Chains A and B, each alone.
Chain A
Amino acid sequence: QKEVEQDPGPLSVPEGAIVSLNCTYSNSAFQYFMWYRQYSRKGPELLMYTYSSGNKEDGRFTAQVDKSSKYISLFIRDSQPSDSATYLCAVGPGNQGGKLIFGQGTELSVKP
């Protein structure tokens, strides 16, 4: 079993839709939870991170962590064609720095 599971999609939605992206993880020791966005042939860029359980909002993006069920989500409101990319969830242990463990990534396409 992979440490982080993510549905690879692809996911196609119309412009303006609410998008829900999800991951599950297996190790309850993980403390940091991140979402990266990766455009085609580019390196990933950090969108949001959360520490422990709860919600975090940044503009049209909301990250949610439920440690009791080991479930992390990213919601995108009013999706735009420019949001079309691959979204990768990642988890990190409680140490300073160190490796991230990534999900497979979900390919999202927002149609105008």
Chain B
Amino acid sequence: GAGVSQSPSNKVTEKGKDVELRCDPISGHTALYWYRQSLGQGLEFLIYFQGNSAPDKSGLPSDRFSAERTGGSVSTLTIQRTQQEDSAVYLCASSLVRLGAFSYEQYFGPGTRLTVT
């Protein structure tokens, strides 16, 4: 079946511009996650959705970052007034959270490579 898809795959933007990154999770997956991976760094958690609500948004680095999820499916991560330090690969993952079952099997998309010039 179809995996997690993300668009665009690459995005180059000028400092100060806004960008929107999109994630399509695996159909039926209730949980959706955004992570950021900078050069030579591990994955840094940004935000977690369960359905359309975000019980954990503790990783968003500043108020320039926001995310929403609609219809329990597609999610959009928005970065306003981009800065050079926002350059990274933004990864989306989804999982099926079920009571009594292992819920950490997160399936990742290929990522969006963001470059801020």
- A interface vs B, CB < 8 Å? 4, 6, 8, 32, 34, 41-46, 49, 51, 88, 90, 92, 96-105
Contacts and interface: CB of A to CB of B under 8 A. Distances in A.
A100 B45 contact: yes
B42 A105 contact: yes
Given A44-B108, A46-B105, A8 B48 contact: no
Interface of B: 4, 31, 33, 35, 40-45, 48, 50, 55-56, 58-59, 91, 93, 95, 97, 99, 102-111
A11 B86 CA distance: 29
Nearest to A32: B104
Contacts of A49: 102, 104-105
Given A44-B43, A104-B40, A98 B56 contact: yes
A44 B45 CA distance: 14
